[in-house]
Chain A
Amino acid sequence: MDSRLRSLAEQLDANVIARREFLRKAAIITGGTAAGLQALNQMAHAQAKTKLRVWLFKSFVTGGNDVLAKQVEAWAKERNVEVEADWSTFGDREQKFVAAIEAGNPPDMAEMNYQGPMRYKPALRDLTKLAKEIAGARGGILPYAERYVLIGNQYFGVPRLAFPGGFFIRRDILEAKGIKPPKTYDPDVIEMARKCQEPAKDLWGLGQTLNRCDDGNGFMQNILWSYGGSVWDKDGKPALGTTYLKENLQALQFAIDTIQKHKIQPPGVMGWNDVSNNEAYLAGKLVSTNNGASLYYAMVAKKHPLAEKTQVILNPGGPAGSFSGTGAYNWGIFSKSKYADLCEDLIRYVEDEKRFEEYMKACIGQAGPVYKTRADHPYWRSDPNFEGMVQNILRSVWTGHPGPITPAAIEVQAQYILCDMAGRVVVGGLAPEAALREAHKRVEDIYKIRNRA
C-alpha cells in the first residue's frame, strides 16, 4: 500500500481526520499516482522501438540463409527497428501463410515463392511503384519472373531470386565411356543411361521420380512443354486431354518408359520425395538427375568428392525444344502492415546490388537472376557449372505457359495432378490415355471452380 494512504488510514482510525477528508485526500493521491503512471507508460511507449514482423524463407542453402539473416539484422540496427524474423521452409510455408491470413494476423512482409502473389493477392499491398523502381535500376525484370508478380497492371511482389535447376551428370563416368553430354531426353539421355548404368552395382542411369513432390511436378511440366504439349492452351483453358492430347500423350509415355520400358531408373523411384534423388546422387547411385542448384551447393560446401566429377548442363529437351519452368521468389508486403514504408526500405536494403552479390556468392548458384543486369553478372561465368543453371533460367517459362499464369494453373501444380497422372499409369496400371483423360477432368474441375471466383 502507498505510505501516504496508510498514513491517512491511520489518521482516520485515530479520528484525527473525518471520513470525508480521508476520501478526498485518498482520491487525490490515487488519481495523481494513476496519472503519473499513465504519463510514464506513454513515455515508455514513445521510446519503444517499432516492431516489424518479417517472414524469411529458409532454403537448403544455409550459407545464403545466414547472410540474409545478418543483413536484416544490420538493417534493423541501422534504422533502430526491432525485427521479429521468422523462417518458413518448403514444408510449412503455405500452411503458415494460410493460417496467418485467415487469422487476420499476417506478418508485415514476407519472402514468398512464385505462387505467393497470385494466391495471396487479396491480402497483399500493391507494390507497383517499388517494383518498377528496383527493376528500372537493374535493366528490368526477366519475363518469366515478371509473370509471377504482375497481375493485371499491378505488381504484388518485388522479385528477388530464382532457384535455378539443371541436369546433373557424372562427367567422370561419361568421359570414361566416351559419351557426350545429352541434349535431348530421347534418345540421348536414354542411350547415355543405358550405356553408363550398372544395375548389379546399384548404379542407375537416371534418377527422376514422378511421385507427388516438387521434383516430380517440375519434371512432368517440363517434359510436356518439351514435347510441344501443355496443361493449358494459349488462352489459359484446359488443354491436357484436348488441344495437346497427342503431344502430352507422347511426353507421358516417355516419362513412363524411363521406368517401365528402358529400366534406367532405380527400383523404388516412384516412392521418392524431393530429397531422395539428392541422397541417391550423393551416394554415387545415379549417373544423372534433374535438380535445383542446392545439390551443387551441398557438394561444394561439404567438399564432396562428386563435386569435381559433376557437370550441370541445360535440361535436355524433346521434339519441341528444351523447356524449363523456374519459379521466382518475391518480397511481398501485407496490406494490414502499418509499416509499409519500413518494409519497402528493408526490401531496397537487401536488394542493394552489393548486398545481393554477397548473398548470391554465399548461395553457390542457388540465387539465380530475376533482373537483366544480374543475369550478366560475371559471377555466372566464374564456374562452368553455372552456365547451364543460368541458361535454364534465361529461357524459363512460367506455370500456365503458353497461356497466362492463373490461379487454376497454380492449383494444378499444388495438387500434383501431373504426378498423379504418371503414377496412375506406372503403379495404378491405367493406360496412358485413360490417365491423361482422368487428369484432364481434374484440371477442368479446378478451372471451373477457380473461374467462378
Chain B
Amino acid sequence: MAVPAARLETKATLGVANPRGGLARVLGPDYRLGYLFVTPIAIAVLALVAYPFCYAVYLSLTYKLVGMPPVFVGLENYIRLYDDGFFRRAVYNSFLFTFGSVGFKLVLGMLMALVLMSKIRWRSFWTGVLLIPWVAPTVVSALNFLWIFDGSLGVLNYLLVKVFRILPQGVGWLSEPGTAMASVISVNVWRGFPFFGISFLAGMKAIPGELYEAAAVDGATALQRFMHVTLPGIKNITIIVVLLSTIWTFNDFGIVYILTKGGPGGSTMVMPVLTYETAFGAQRLGEAIAVALYLLPGLALTIVVLARYMRKGRKR
C-alpha cells in the first residue's frame, strides 16, 4: 500500500527515521538519479582538469628529463627558482607586462565604448573596424608588428625618419629594454582593447536612460554623469573584464615570443616564455611546470577575492 506523501513529509519534519535512510532525507528522494546526472560531468572534469592539474603539480616536484622517468625532489625546483635571478626578473617583467597592458587596455577600451555610445555616423562600421585587432590571429598580428618594429627595415622607423623626419635616426624598438617592453605591451594593448571596449559598450547600453536624464535635470556635467552613473553601472563588467584580461595577459606567450623571445638580455622575459624555454630549450620538464605553477596560488587568490567582492556588490 502506498504511503501518503503528507504522512512521509510529517515524519521527515518531525525527525522520525526515514525508511529510505539518511541520505534520502538530506538530499531528497531522487538523489540517486541526481548522481546519475552529475556523474558524466564529474568524470569529464576529473579526467580533463583535475587529473592533468594534479599530475602537473606532481611533475613540478620532480626532476624530469625528456624520455626519462621523473625523480621526486620535493620543493627543490621551487626553491631553486626562488634563488634564480633570471626567474625573478621574469616575474617582475610578467607583472610589468600584465599591469601595463591591462591599464592601457582599460583606458582605451573605455574611450572606445564612450565614442561608440555617442551619436556618430556609421557606428556599426566603426564597431566592426575596432574589433579587427581582437579577431586577428595573434601570430599574424605579432609577425606584422615584428616587421613594423624592425630597426633597419621596419615601417615605423621609415615613417619617423624618412617620411615625417621626426627622428634623425631609427630607433631600435626591440633592441633596448625600455622600448622592447613598451613594444610588446603596445602590441598586447592593440590586440586586447577591443574586448574591453565591446564589453563596456554592452554594459553602458544596459544602463537605463532615465538615470542620465535625472542626472541632467539635477545639473550634472558630462564628467559627473560618467563618474556617478556610467562607472557604477558598469562596475561589475569592469571587474570581470579586468580579471579575465589579467589572466589572459599574464599567460600571453605568442606576442613576446615572436617579437623578442624574451630578449634583449632577458629584459622582456615573461613567465610563459620562460616556461616554454625551460621545457623545450632546457628540456627540464619538472622545472618548467614549477615555473608555470609558481604564481598560481597568488592568481587564484586574486580571482577568489575579486569574485567575492563582485558577489557582495550584487547582494547590495
Residues of A at the B interface (CB closer than 8 Å) are 94-95, 97-98, 101-102, 119-123, 202, 210-213, 266-273, 276, 279-280, 283, 285, 411, 414-416, 419-420, 422-428, 438, 442, 445-446, 449, 452-453
Contact between chains at B68 and A453 (CB < 8 Å): yes
Q: Can you list 14 contacts pairing A with B, beta carbon distance less than 8 Å?
A: A120-B66, A123-B67, A211-B263, A212-B261, A266-B152, A267-B170, A268-B150, A268-B170, A271-B172, A271-B175, A271-B176, A280-B152, A414-B282, A426-B265
CB-based contact B67/A268 at 8 Å: no
Given contacts A423-B267, A427-B264, contact A268 B152 (CB under 8 A): yes
Stretch of B122-130, B273-281, B292-300 that contacts chain A? B273-281
Known: A211-B263, A424-B266. A270 touches B175 (CB 8 A): yes
Alpha-carbon separation in the docked complex, A438 to B265 (Å): 12
Within 102-161 of B, Cβ neighbours of A (below 8 Å) are at 149-153, 157
Contact B153 A283 (CB under 8 A): yes
Q: Tell me the bound Cα distance from A214 to B6 in angstroms.
A: 80
- Interface positions, chain B 244-270, Cβ under 8 Å from A, are 260-267
Instruction: A270-B264, A419-B263, A423-B267 are known; give 18 further A-B pairs, CB within 8 A.
Output: A94-B281, A98-B280, A102-B285, A119-B283, A120-B66, A120-B67, A268-B150, A270-B175, A271-B173, A271-B175, A279-B153, A415-B277, A416-B263, A423-B266, A427-B176, A427-B177, A449-B63, A452-B63
Once the chains are docked, how many angstroms separate the CA of A120 from the CA of B171?
Answer: 42
User: Distance in Å from the Cβ of A210 to the closest Cβ of chain B?
Assistant: 8
How far apart are the CA atoms of A159 and B84 in the complex, in Å? 37
Q: Most chain-A Cβ atoms within 10 A of its Cβ — which of B63, B263, B265?
A: B265
Cα distance A279–B173 in the bound complex, in angstroms = 17
Size band of the interface chain B makes with A: 35 or more
- Give, as a whole number of angstroms, the nearest-CB distance from B96 to chain A: 15
Assuming the contacts A266-B151, A267-B172, asked whether A427 and B267 have C-beta atoms less than 8 A apart, the reply is yes
A-B contact count (CB 8 A): 138
Q: Which residues of B contact A279 (CB under 8 A)?
A: 150, 152-153
Establish whether residues B172 and A442, one from each chain, have CB atoms under 8 Å apart when the complex forms.
no
Could you tell me if B151 and A212 are in contact, using CB atoms closer than 8 angstroms?
no
Q: A269-B175, A423-B267 are in contact. Are A202 and B152 (CB under 8 A)?
A: yes
- Inter-chain CA distance A102–B66, complex, in Å, is 7
The listed residue (A268, A271, A283, A411) touching B282 by CB distance below 8 A is A411
Alpha-carbon distance A428/B268, docked complex (angstroms)? 11
The answer for the CA separation of A315 and B277 in the assembled complex, in Å, is 29
Contact at A271–B68, with CB atoms within 8 Å?
no
Do most interface residues of chain A lie in helix, strand or loop, or is the interface mixed? helix
* B290 part of interface (Cβ distance < 8 Å): no
CB <8 Å contact, A98 and B175: no
Name the residue on A nearest B174 (C-beta): A271
Contact with A along B56-68 (1 / 0, CB 8 A): 0000000101111
| B263–A423 touching, CB < 8 Å | yes
B150 with A276: CB separation less than 8 A: yes
Q: How close is A343's CB to chain B, nearest CB, in angstroms?
A: 18
Contact partner, B152, options A98, A276, A427, A445, Cβ 8 Å: A276
> A268 and B266: CB pair below 8 A?
no
Distance of A414 Cα from B150 Cα, bound (Å)? 24
- Give the docked Cα–Cα distance between A340 and B59 (Å): 32
The answer on a CB contact under 8 Å between B265 and A422 is: yes
Indicate if the CB atoms of B264 and A426 lie closer than 8 Å: yes
Q: Is the CB of A268 within 8 A of B265?
A: no
Give which listed residue, B176, B266, B283, contacts A420 with CB less than 8 A.
B266
**Interface residue B169 (Cβ < 8 Å from any Cβ of A):** yes
Name which residue of chain B comes closest to A277, CB basis: B152
B250 to chain A, nearest CB (A): 22
Measured between C-beta atoms, what is the minimum distance from B260 to chain A in Å?
Answer: 7
Q: In the complex, which residues of chain A have a beta carbon less than 8 angstroms from the beta carbon of B152? A: 202, 266-268, 276, 279-280, 283, 285
